[in-house]
Structure 1
Amino acid sequence: MKLFLLFLNVVFLTLPVYAKEALSTDYWGNIEEIVHETGFNGTIVVGRGEQILLHKSVGYADAVKTIPLTANHLFSPGSVGKEFTTVSIMQLAAKNKLKYQDSIARYVDALPAWANKITIEHILTHTSGLPDVKWKKGISTADAIHQIQQGTPAFEPGTGYKYTNLNVVVRALIVESITGKSYADYVDSSIFKVADMTHAFHQTENEQVSKTVVSGDFPTNMAGLTIYVTPLDLFKFENALWNGSLLSAEQLKQALPGDSLSGQTNRAYFDFGKFFVDDNGSLVSWEHDGSNPSHHTIKHHDFISGNVIILMSSDGNKSTLYKLLSELKALTSEEIKPTNLRANKAIQPTANASAD
């Protein structure tokens, strides 16, 4: 079923220019008490454009607390990492290598007959009807495909919503089919290197586990999912999304509005988390969180202040990240003055129906 975008009056903002006095906030001093009270174990990055305003690691990288956590230690971004497969598919669409209405069976072999009705748009929007993953230690891409082969659809594609990681694995396999590369190689050359994500890597085998991965993640080896990054890597990725290095503003514009099946009106149509608009329909911020299972991540971009906040932890307490995010957002609202903002540049939604 062809899905139609229910366009909002989303306004995309250029990165603002700030007076020097707007950079004087003592971010760490304002959140240090929360960090110590909650037992936060992780890394915090706050930046604006290319400026890093706070980059702080607290705690340990190992379970027995002998290795101090540093800025170079890697975390699993959980669901935030799904953005990499989303961007990969969108890059190939921009090059006319695929269409969002293509059947996934055109690119992925050995799928059951019921999967022929699933389109690329469905797997980008979690409306495919693919079942949940049955997790086990060391689960691989082959295991995921076997589960699809042996599974049954949750609903007719395009008629319901189920957030499942099998959609993400299929995205990665489509990229491999089109490019002739492993997904690990594609994401490294077309996203990680382009965004200058110097520590990010995609693991495909148990033997590849890096010594700099912080303890507490669930061991997997799945295409599109077993990805590790530093918080600074995620910060660079966010900047690359919005400076045009990875995608055009037109593509990002079409990826946000349109969801009508998840029951969450601000969930991004494609897999970018959630977005927030003001009373005029102008884009104010977007945000994505993820977990795996003791690793937690929040990526928040405030388009009014220009601040990007990346929080990654391994203490298993996601609520701590939201406490920190709330305080950091409050600091942003206090420090930014209207005179520091460059005039906004509006990009109006395209008046056609489909995301292809």
Structure 2
Amino acid sequence: MKLYLEFLCLFLLCFSPQLFANSSGANRNLTEIHKYIDETGFNGAVLVSKNDKLIIEEYFGYADFQKTTKLTRKHLFSPGSVGKEFTTVGIMLLEEQGRLSYEDKISTFIADLPEWAKNITIHHILSHTSGLPKIKWKKGILTTDAITQLLNSEGLFEPGSGYRYSNLNVVARALVIEAVTNQTFSAFMQNNLFEPAQMRGSYQQLSAKDESPEKVDGDYPTFLNGVTVYVTPIDLMKFEIALTSNVLIPFSLVQAKLDGDELSGQSERALYDFGSFSKDSRDTLLSWQHDGSNPSHHTLKFHDFEQDLVILIMSSDGNKSTLYQIKEKLVARLSASGV
């Protein structure tokens, strides 16, 4: 497989030079794992940045099941649960601006909720402690279907007393953002997240007419506000760097919402949907990691803050474990080479 370094010169003309630049060690960093990647049947993208500079950007396989269209940097994947970060950051931005509070009841923004749900706060929908049940999926599910489920739901537990990971929480976040800003979540995300992060190719899909021809085969067809988002790997890398570089919101606010997730029973799971994290004895953030699936599309986003290293892997072959194996080989190879 060929490393796409030839695209970096053109890329640097189009995007902020402080975010990405070339690195002389890029070619040798993947050479030793090319054979492994080929043997696994991996179909997807592998990106690595060091000190906010893109040092590896490589695409393996095809965008379609027929294997007629080679994968390129323009193709879109579903980030799965990693995409929940967009609604989370959106809510945190509005809180930082003083336009809402985490303790606000969502009934202030969403009308006709069932009686039990009127005690749900914004904190609850960010931490999956609302008591909302999981979405009942079907092909082509629309936001209106999810809202109907939301308005007719029966609470699994008293809000704030338990934990259940549910995309209804994510839809509710998007609805809250729309009520507060008086604009669609798509427009809000474009103006407040995608543009500041210089994400040029990503979008939200709310109906069949929104579907992009650049979307990679293998996703489950949905049209849900806040949930059904498609990104290019390079855009997701730019989002990660913007998020951790105070471009979108102060990163200290994000770090403050990592701990405290006691109800899920996972001590290193981030409280507000940023995946899992690792800290040292002095409470210094060492790394975090977030993965997502939909259903053959898989994403793994890993950030080593000590080394200022980001590894982003996205695939469409349905084999999630391969992403972790590639990540571990990359970490070992980059460490050995001193990059």
329, 332, 336: which one aligns with 1:330: 332
1:113-146 CA deviation, whole Å, 9 max, x = no partner?
1111100000000111100100011111110111
Identity of aligned residues (%): 48
AA aligned to 1:316 is G
1:74 and 2:82 equivalent? no
Output the CA distance in 1 between the equivalents of 2:85 and 2:192: 13
Give the structure 1 partner of residue 113 of structure 2. Answer: 111
Alpha-carbon displacement from aligned partner over 1:142-168 (angstroms, at most 9, x marks no partner): 101111222211111111110100000
Of structures 1 and 2, the one with the larger relative CO (CA 8 A, separation 6+) is 1
Q: Which residue of 2 aligns with 1:232?
A: 234
2:279 match: 277
Query: Is the 8 Å Cα contact of residues 237 and 312 (structure 2) preserved in structure 1?
Result: yes
- 1:305 equivalent to 2:307? Answer yes
Q: Within 2, Cα distance between the matches of 1:336 and 1:270?
A: 33
- In structure 1, what is the Cα distance between the partners aligned to 2:321 and 2:147? 34
Structure-to-structure mapping, 1:43-122, within 5 angstroms: 43-122=45-124
Aligned residue for 2:213?
A: 211
258 and 25 in structure 1: CA distance in 2 versus 1, 3 angstrom threshold: farther
Q: Counterpart of 1:160? A: 162
Aligned length: 318
Match of 2:132 among 110, 130, 133: 130
1:296 aligns with 2:288: no
Equivalent position amino acid for 2:40 in 1: T
Deviations 1:18-59 (A, max 9, x none): xx9994672221221221111000011101233211101111
Deviation at 1:269, TM superposition (A): 0.9
Query: Aligned partners of 2:214 and 2:227: how far apart in 1?
Result: 18
CA RMSD of aligned residues (A): 1.6
Residue of 197, 200, 205 corresponding to 1:198: 200
- Return 83-92 or 325-334, whichever deviates more: 325-334
State the one-letter code of the partner of 1:177.
A
Within 1, Cα distance between the matches of 2:202 and 2:104? Answer: 30
CA distance in 2, matches of 1:87, 1:56: 28
Residues 22 and 63 from structure 1, CA distance in 2 versus in 1: closer, same or farther, beyond 3 angstroms?
closer
Give the aligned residue type for 2:74.
Answer: N
What is the CA–CA distance in structure 1 between the aligned matches of 2:307 and 2:336, rounded to whole Å?
A: 10
Runs of 4+ in 1 over 6 A off after TM superposition: none
Mapped to 1, the partners of 2:254 and 2:334 lie a distance apart of 24
Local SS of the residue matching 1:286: strand
Superposed CA deviations along residues 85-120 of structure 1, whole A, max 9, x for unmatched, are: 000000000111000000010011121111111000
SS at match of 1:46: strand
**Which of 20-29 and 89-98 deviates more?**
20-29
Match of 2:260 among 258, 261, 271: 258
Q: TM-score w.r.t. structure 2 length?
A: 0.91
Query: Which residue type is aligned with residue 48 of structure 2?
Result: V
Q: How far is 1:182 from its partner?
A: 0.5
- Give the structure-1-normalised TM-score: 0.86
